[in-house]
Amino acid sequence: MENAPIIPARGRGGSLPSMLPSLNLSITSDAMRSTVSWCRIRSSDEESLSTSHHKHTVHELHYVYEGELRFSFGSAFEPLICGPGEFIFIPAGISHSIDDPAPFTRKLVIGFDISSHSELIDGTFNGTRQPTSARETQTFHELALALMHKSNTSDLTTSVSTGSIVHTLLLEIVDALASSTKNRAQRLRESEDGRRMNQVLSCINEKMFSSISVSDVAETLGLSVRQASRICRELFGCTLNQLIVQIRIKEICKLLTDSKYSIADIAEIAGFSSPYSFSRHFSHYTGVTPSAYRRDFELHR
């Protein structure tokens, strides 16, 4: 940004009230549905912003108004530093700790879930498996200031109006996060990790409906099961067994969208002893039966 950020003065007596500390507010627009679990403005003169390692079942966004925050993710990902006018997106389930080295730091933190029919939006939030940082846009800056002004007023702030601002702010960061993810993916493809990732995926894709095991993947990589499991968690954010199941279910879903295959045909292709055991397996991981998934696809095609 060309202009220096305009930050309101600290709250009366150095105090900033906690805004929407805990809620379950959903806002729906044509683009997506956001469910905000918490929205808080925190300052280091009121409480410590440093934390030990923890994780959440929802996504989390941190934005720094003033100061600096350093995020660590154990051995899984590289540390990230977030300064004034920058934000960091931490996907659900990622363990992280925060260190606040600045004399004074003020931040906005939002816990949220996103659902969207847009591949770009859904992929940006729910398809990203590692923390991503980016610089604010002018619009993001103005929305963040609007939340700041609401927290500094003595008027009652309604959850709906704040939720609408948060919803718009989350939409605003999609392009920045998508661009950062795309650049990171390009670097990954050119790296040693990218080579290993392709090996893992190729091995699973080749044998997904046979009796592939974790040891099979480890042998393909020329590593021990423990090493292969660690690499899988670093690259994909899940265990090898979970990755195998995810890839199998994704391929089964593709087969279900092709009307030339019956449910019994797909059960046989996928290596199940009967359509019943296939249906139980699919329902366990997706929440719907294969027949219901096919009907829903045909209904919305």
CATH T-level fold of 12-186:
Jelly Rolls (2.60.120)
Q: Where are the domains of the chain?
A: 12-186, 191-300
Reported as a single tens digit per residue, the pLDDT across 59-93 is: 999 999 999 999 999 877 889 999 999 999 999 98
The three-state (H, E, C) secondary structure of the chain, written as one string: CCCCCCCCCCCHHHCCCCCCCCCCEEEECCCCEEEEEEEEEEECCCCCCCEEEECCCCEEEEEEEECCEEEEECECEEEEEECCCEEEEECCCCCEEEECCCCCCEEEEEEEEEECCCHHHHHHHHCCCCCEEEECCHHHHHHHHHHHHHHHCCCCCCHHHHHHHHHHHHHHCHHHHHHHHHHHHHHHHCCHHHHHHHHHHHHHHHHCCCCCCHHHHHHHHCCCHHHHHHHHHHHHCCCHHHHHHHHHHHHHHHHHCCCCCCHHHHHHHCCCCCHHHHHHHHHHHHCCCHHHHHHHHHHHC
How many C-beta atoms lie closer than 10 Å to residue 34's C-beta? 26
The CATH H-level superfamily of 191-300 is Homeodomain-like (1.10.10.60)
pLDDT at 193: 60
Point out the least confidently predicted range of 57-66, 217-226, 229-238, 256-265.
229-238
> For residue 1, which of 142, 110, 105, 106 has the smallest C-alpha distance?
142
Q: Is the pLDDT reported for residue 40 higher than 70? A: yes
Q: What angle do CA 268, 273, 278 make, to 5 degrees?
A: 70
pTM for the full predicted model: 0.57
Q: Which residues contact 24 (CB under 8 A, 6 or more apart)?
A: 35, 36, 37
Reported as a single tens digit per residue, the pLDDT across 98-153 is: 999 999 999 999 999 999 888 888 888 988 888 988 899 899 999 999 888 877 66
